[in-house]
Structures are given as structure tokens and as C-alpha cells.
């Protein structure tokens, strides 16, 4: 039998701060309510069918819209999106409408807000949600994509932004 030791969450977060992640904005809409959250926890799952996953904190009551809407858009941010990333990360005291005013949004197929100048945007229908401790993993089948011109990507590492 394996001896299982529990990892100290603060120690784990410190180690993860050294893990570079592409900064992304995940958005959704349900009725007249829009929500956007800055994340780094997202990745490709498959190309056939095209599927991605995102991870969202399930203890934030405002994230329930993602678990109920059935749709989301994953917007890959560029270096020029740092202020937008801050706006949707909670670092600022902006209202929801003020946050969305920091960018220009459109829709593709699902109706989820898509950042028009995202490096790439993936418009998704939710196919599965799995609870994993403090977060929910949301799988989405990509039903449309949008590209903008190639620019430097916005990364987050060592608790700060970097570009690549």
C-alpha cells in the first residue's frame, strides 16, 4: 500500500508559479448575463472531434454561469491584452460591463463572446463537466474558430506577465 502524503497547497502554488502558461480569457453568456475569466488552465484534448478543456474554480458562485450555459469561448491573449487580462482576473475593481468594455467582442456560432483581436478564439459547446476538488474541468467541442494576425503571446510565470 502506498503511503499518501498530502501536498501543502501553498507549497504547490509556489511550484506552479514557475510553470509558464498562456494567458487566456474564457467567456460565456446565459440570457442577458455575460461572464469572462482570465485563466491559464486550458489545453487541447483532441483534433477529431476538435475538443479543448478549461478549468474553473467551483467555489466562486459567479462561475456557475459556465456550468449552466452549455457554451464557452476560449480566447488566446496576446501581449497587447495585458490590461484586458488584468480586468478579467479580478485585479481591478471594474464592473462586469466595464470589463467587457476593455475589448471588442463578437459572436461566432454559439453566442459566447469572442474577443475580435484574440490570437485565436475557440467557440465551444460543452460536452462534459467533471468535478476535480476545487475546480470543474469543462470539456468543449470546438464548433468554430477565429484567428487574428500573428502577434506575441501573453504568458504568465513567476506571478508576472511575459511575452513570447
pLDDT tens digits for range 102-158: 999 999 999 999 999 999 999 999 999 999 989 999 999 999 999 998 999 999 999
Question: CATH for 21-163, among 3.90.45.10, 2.30.110.10, 1.20.120.520, 3.30.465.10?
Answer: 2.30.110.10
d(CA 21, CA 36): 18
Q: Which is nearest to 25 in space by CA: 120, 101, 94?
A: 120
Domain definitions of the chain by residue range: 21-163
pTM: 0.92
Contact 57, 63 (CB under 8 A): yes
Which three cell numbers, joined as nine digits, stand for 38? 482570465
CA quadruple 57, 86, 76, 141: dihedral sign: positive
pLDDT tens digits for range 5-18: 788 889 888 988 88
Amino acid at each position: 500500500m502506498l503511503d499518501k502524503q498530502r501536498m501543502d497547497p501553498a507549497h504547490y502554488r509556489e511550484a506552479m508559479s514557475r510553470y509558464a502558461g498562456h494567458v487566456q480569457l474564457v467567456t460565456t453568456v446565459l440570457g442577458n448575463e455575460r461572464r469572462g475569466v482570465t485563466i491559464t488552465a486550458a489545453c487541447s484534448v483532441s483534433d477529431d472531434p476538435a475538443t479543448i478543456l478549461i478549468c474553473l474554480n467551483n467555489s466562486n458562485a459567479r462561475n456557475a454561469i459556465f456550468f449552466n450555459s452549455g457554451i464557452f469561448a476560449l480566447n488566446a491573449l496576446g501581449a497587447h491584452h495585458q490590461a484586458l487580462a488584468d480586468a478579467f482576473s479580478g485585479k481591478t475593481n471594474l464592473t462586469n460591463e466595464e470589463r467587457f468594455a476593455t475589448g471588442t467582442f463578437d459572436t461566432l456560432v454559439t453566442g459566447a463572446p469572442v474577443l475580435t483581436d484574440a490570437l485565436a478564439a475557440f467557440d465551444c459547446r460543452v460536452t462534459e463537466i467533471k468535478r476535480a476538488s476545487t475546480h470543474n474541468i469543462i470539456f468543449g467541442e470546438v464548433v468554430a474558430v477565429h484567428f487574428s494576425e500573428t502577434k506575441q503571446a501573453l504568458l504568465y510565470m513567476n506571478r508576472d506577465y511575459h511575452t513570447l
